Amino acid sequence: MLRHRQHQPDRRLDADGRLDEIHDPDRSGEGSVLFGRDDDRVEVGVGEALGVWQKARGLLTSDLETRGTFGDFDGDGYLDLALFRSQEDSGDSPRSNLLVHEVRYGPLARDLSGSRSGTIRVRVSFFVAAVRATDEDQDGRAELHVFQSAGDGGYTEYVGRQQDGGLTLSEAGTGYYGKGDWGELQPGWSDFGTCVYTSPESTPSVRREPSDLH
C-alpha cells in the first residue's frame, strides 16, 4: 500500500517568498493552505475560497459540498486552484447541480482568489466527491482528476487539462470506482516530488523523490 505524503510545500503560492503548505491528507479535495508569515501562520480551507455570489447561490440548497485541489495547470510556475461546489446525491440517483466549477490561476491571494479565473468545462453536472492534481507525464502542466457521481454509489473519473483559458475534462470517464476507492490510487502529490522555484520568470525545477511502500 502506498504511503502518501500529507502536505506539499511551495514557496510561491502567494508569491511572497515565505513557505506555505498545502494539506490534504486524504487526497480528496477537502484540504487547506497554511500560509507562512513572519509573525503568525494562517490556515485557509478550500471551503472558505467561495466568493460572496457563489455562497449566495447555495443558500436555499441543502447538502452542498466544496472540493478543491492545487496544481500548476497552465505551466507558468505558480500553483492554481481548481474549485467545485456541488450537491450530494439523494439515494441512488445522482443530482445534477454543480454550482461552481472554476480554476483560479496563481499566484493566489490569502483568501484563495486568483490573479485570473477560467471555467472548468465538465461533461456532467453531478456531485463532485473528490478532486486531485497530478503531473504523471512530467511536462510541467498538472492534470486535474475529478471523481463525479455515477449513481448507485459509484463514481466516474474524468481527467482535465489546460485548454482555451480554462480546463477541459475528458469526454468519457477513465475509470469507475466505489466510494473511497480513489484513496488507493497512486497518482497525486508524489508525482510532483519536491518543487523548487527560483524566480517568477523561471521554469519550476522538480526533484523526484521515490515513493515509500509499506
Where does residue 138 fall: left (phi above 0), alpha (psi -120 to 50 degrees), or beta otherwise?
Answer: left
Contacts of 4 (CB under 8 A, 6+ apart): 25, 27, 188, 189, 190
- Name 177's Cβ contacts closer than 8 Å, sequence gap at least 6: 147, 154, 155, 156, 157
pLDDT digits (tens, 9 = 90+) for 54-91: 888 878 788 999 999 999 999 998 899 999 999 998 87
Nearest CA to 9 out of 67, 79, 74 is that of: 79
In one-letter notation, the amino acid at residue 140 is G
Domain membership of residue 5 (yes or no) is no
Does residue 203 form part of some domain? no
Q: Is residue 163 part of a domain?
A: yes
Please calculate the CA angle 70-52-131 and round it to the nearest 5 degrees. Answer: 25
Residues 6+ apart with CB under 8 A from 111: 44, 48, 49
pLDDT at 83: 97
pLDDT digits (tens, 9 = 90+) for 120-136: 999 999 999 989 888 88
Average pLDDT, the chain: 78
**Would you say residue 49 has pLDDT above 70?**
yes
Give a yes or no: residue 33 inside a domain. no
Bridge partners for 80 per DSSP: 71
The answer to whether the beta carbons of residues 8 and 204 sit under 8 Å apart is no
Number of compact structural domains in the chain: 1
Average pLDDT value for residue range 34-40 = 73
pLDDT at residue 51, rounded to an integer:
87
What is the pLDDT averaged over residues 198-204? 38
The pLDDT value recorded for residue 183 is 58
Confirm whether 56 is domain-assigned: yes
- Residue 59 is which amino acid? L
Distance of CA 51 to the CA centre of its chain: 17
Most confident of 77-86, 87-96, 200-209: 77-86
More confident residue, 158 or 176: 158
The predicted pLDDT at position 171 comes to 79
pTM of the model: 0.80
The answer to the question of residue 111 being in a domain is yes
d(CA 126, CA 148): 6
* 168: containing domain: 51-176
Q: Is residue 159 part of a domain?
A: yes
In the chain, what percentage of residues exceed pLDDT 90? 36
Q: Let me know if residue 96 belongs to a domain.
A: yes
Question: Between these two residues, 160 and 59, which has the higher pLDDT value?
Answer: 160
Instruction: Give yes or no for residue 209 having a pLDDT over 70.
Output: no
Say if CB 37 and CB 13 are below 8 A apart: no
